[in-house]
């Protein structure tokens, strides 16, 4: 069924594309179009939320979007220049530049090569390889519920273990933290709440339904869409916002991962669009280039609609009550029940599908998403792009 909530610009794009769905076999390639970049910085759908959520002027928001796009494009080159000395990277909102960490014993020629790419350089004690190895060892420990998540923080040059406020004195938490510290460089921080997924019972909005569970569509792929794994198991039927049958979960993984894909049929088709919910224009999807830590990012979901924030961490392990989920990206964007599976997007580049978090869009919170490129690669899907 055609989504009547899509705006006229979306329908025009559908007519130009002239193709609704096809079998996909390969992950999407990242898009690097100067034309799309220009439209990105001019789009009120991006500028207005950034002005609101970051307290920026229009000019400041435009400058940040341009700088983030440049940092995203620069990262692969800077990382290759660093080689084995690479210690991680992040976008520095203050300087509007990509910062690349390199190990303290790095040869001067390597440091110069990284600087020559245009990136800022910070010298650190531990390489990214060492930090990733530390995190992998912590992944094998098994965490109590008072431990929220853990990930490599390149700017701290350590693995950050997040402990729920009020649980730091718990004996199981203390034992876990002590064992984690034995694995390598670890920093402990406090968070307000335990993480939870954002599925919900049947209520209104523009969702999809699996039984009495409501979730949100992530991104269209050729042949269907990707979403969160905790929303449904393989073989489960899916209905749309109008109650009509959409298709079936073809693959699903949760916990350990939190991703799934749903085949589309029965008169439904796929479109390269993220809903703006009337708050902003619907956003076209042109690729899936991964934004760095520190970059701005926005989310669309069937409960709280459109909100923006910042990428806080990557490859974070999240300790849900149902089990740990790995390789997640953490953001400062809020979400609420029913937003699960929804789209995380930076500019016109797909980033991932909403998994869970803590807090709400009244008082704030944090969320995690499963990166979309991992989902595409896992199931051999092709992102539907404009």
Q: Which two tokens stand for residue 313?
A: 């961490």
Q: How confident is the model at residue 42 (pLDDT cuts 50, 70, 90)?
A: very low
By mean pLDDT, which of 113-127, 131-145, 278-292 is the weakest?
A: 278-292
For 226-266, the DSSP string reads EE-GGG--TT-EEE-TTS-EEEEEEEEE-SBS-EEEEEE-T
C-alpha dihedral (206, 211, 217, 221), degrees to nearest 10: -140
Residues 6+ apart with CB under 8 A from 11: none
Q: What pLDDT was estimated at residue 283?
A: 86
**Residue 356 Cα distances to 129, 207, 258, 276, angstroms:** 28, 16, 9, 21
The per-residue pLDDT for 5 is 42
Provide the Cα torsion 235, 344, 271, 65; round to 10°: -170
| Mean pLDDT to the nearest integer, 98-105 | 96
pTM of the model: 0.79
Q: How confident is the model at residue 204 (pLDDT cuts 50, 70, 90)?
A: very low
| CA separation for the pair 132, 319 (Å, rounded) | 18
User: Cα–Cα distance between 386 and 379 in angstroms, integer?
Assistant: 21
pLDDT category at 282 given cuts 50, 70, 90 is confident
The predicted pLDDT at position 280 comes to 78
pLDDT at 243: 85
pLDDT (tens digit per residue) in 58-88: 999 999 999 999 999 999 999 999 999 999 9
> 255 pLDDT band (50/70/90 cuts)?
very high
Average pLDDT over residues 44-59: 82
pLDDT band at 200 (very low <50, low <70, confident <90, very high): low
The stretch 97-116 carries a mean pLDDT of 96
In this predicted structure, what is the pLDDT of residue 197?
A: 83
Kindly provide the b/e burial profile for residues 329-347, where b requires at least 16 CB atoms within 10 angstroms of the residue's own CB.
Answer: bbbbbbbbbbbbbbbbbbb
Question: Coil, strand or helix: which one is 98?
Answer: strand
H or E segment to which residue 42 belongs: helix 34-42
Q: Which candidate, 49, 92, 50, 56, places its Cα nearest to that of 74?
A: 92
Conformation bin of residue 50: beta by default, left when phi > 0, alpha when psi is -120 to 50: alpha
Selected residue with higher pLDDT from 17 and 194: 194
CB 235 within 8 Å of CB 221: no
Give how far the C-alpha of residue 181 lies from the chain's centroid of Cα atoms, to the nearest Å: 28
pLDDT of amino acid 43: 56
Closest to 47 measured CA to CA, from 38, 59, 32: 59
Q: What is the pLDDT of residue 2?
A: 35
Task: State yes or no: pLDDT of 50 exceeds 90.
Answer: no
User: What distance lies between CA 331 and its chain's CA centroid?
Assistant: 7
Please give the domain boundaries of the chain with CATH numbers for all domains: 8-24+197-379 (2.40.10.10), 41-124 (3.30.300.50), 128-194 (3.30.300.50)
Angle between helix axes 58-82 and 108-116 (nearest 10 degrees) is: 140
Angstrom distance (rounded) from CA 344 to CA 341: 9
Q: For residue 196, what pLDDT band results from cuts at 50, 70 and 90? A: confident
Residue 15: pLDDT above 60?
no
CA torsion 132-137-139-141 (nearest 10°) is -160
pLDDT (average), residues 266-274: 86
> Any residues with CB less than 8 A from the CB of 169 and at least 6 apart, and which?
none
Other residues' Cβ atoms within 10 Å of the Cβ of residue 243: 8
Residue 44: is its pLDDT beyond 70?
A: no
Q: Is the pLDDT of residue 308 over 80?
A: yes
* Residue 281 backbone class (left: φ over 0; alpha: ψ -120 to 50; beta: rest): beta
> Across all residues in the chain, what is the average pLDDT?
86
Predicted local distance difference test score (pLDDT) of residue 250: 98
The residues carrying an active-site annotation are 230, 258, 340
What pLDDT, in 10s, does the model give residues 221-237?
999 999 999 999 999 99
pLDDT at 96: 94
């Amino acid at each position: 069924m055609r989504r009547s909530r899509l705006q006229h610009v979306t329908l025009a794009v559908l007519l130009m594309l002239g193709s609704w769905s096809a079998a996909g076999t390969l992950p999407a390639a990242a898009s690097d179009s100067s034309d799309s970049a220009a439209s990105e910085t001019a789009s009120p759908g991006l500028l207005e939320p950034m002005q609101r959520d970051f307290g920026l002027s229009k000019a400041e928001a435009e400058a940040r979007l341009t700088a983030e796009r440049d940092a995203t494009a620069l990262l692969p080159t800077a990382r290759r220049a660093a080689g084995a000395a690479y210690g991680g990277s992040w976008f520095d909102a203050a300087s509007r530049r990509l910062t690349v960490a390199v190990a303290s014993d790095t040869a001067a020629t390597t440091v110069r090569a990284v600087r020559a790419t245009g990136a800022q350089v910070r010298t650190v004690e531990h390489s990214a390889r060492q930090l990733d190895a530390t995190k992998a060892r912590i992944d094998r420990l098994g965490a109590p519920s008072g431990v929220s998540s853990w990930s490599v923080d390149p700017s701290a040059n350590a693995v950050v273990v997040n402990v729920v406020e009020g649980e730091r004195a718990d004996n199981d938490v203390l034992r876990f933290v002590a064992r984690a510290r034995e694995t390598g460089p670890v920093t402990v921080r406090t968070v307000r709440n335990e993480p939870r997924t954002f599925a919900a019972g049947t209520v209104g909005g523009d969702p999809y339904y699996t039984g009495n569970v409501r979730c949100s569509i992530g991104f269209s792929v050729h042949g269907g869409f990707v979403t969160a794994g905790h929303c449904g198991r393989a073989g489960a039927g899916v209905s749309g916002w109008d109650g009509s049958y959409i298709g079936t979960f073809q693959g699903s993984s949760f916990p350990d991962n939190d991703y799934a894909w749903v085949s589309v049929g029965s008169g439904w088709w796929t479109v390269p669009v993220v809903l703006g919910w009337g708050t902003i224009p619907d956003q076209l999807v042109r690729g899936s280039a991964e934004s760095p830590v520190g970059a701005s990012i926005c989310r669309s979901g069937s409960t709280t609609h459109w909100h923006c924030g910042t990428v806080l961490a990557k490859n974070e392990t999240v300790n849900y009550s149902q089990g740990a989920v790995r390789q997640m990206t953490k953001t400062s964007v809020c979400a609420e029940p029913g937003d699960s599976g929804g789209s995380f997007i930076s500019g016109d580049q797909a980033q991932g599908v909403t998994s869970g978090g803590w807090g709400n869009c009244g008082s704030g919170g944090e969320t995690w998403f499963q990166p979309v490129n991992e989902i595409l690669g896992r199931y051999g899907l092709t992102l539907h792009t404009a």
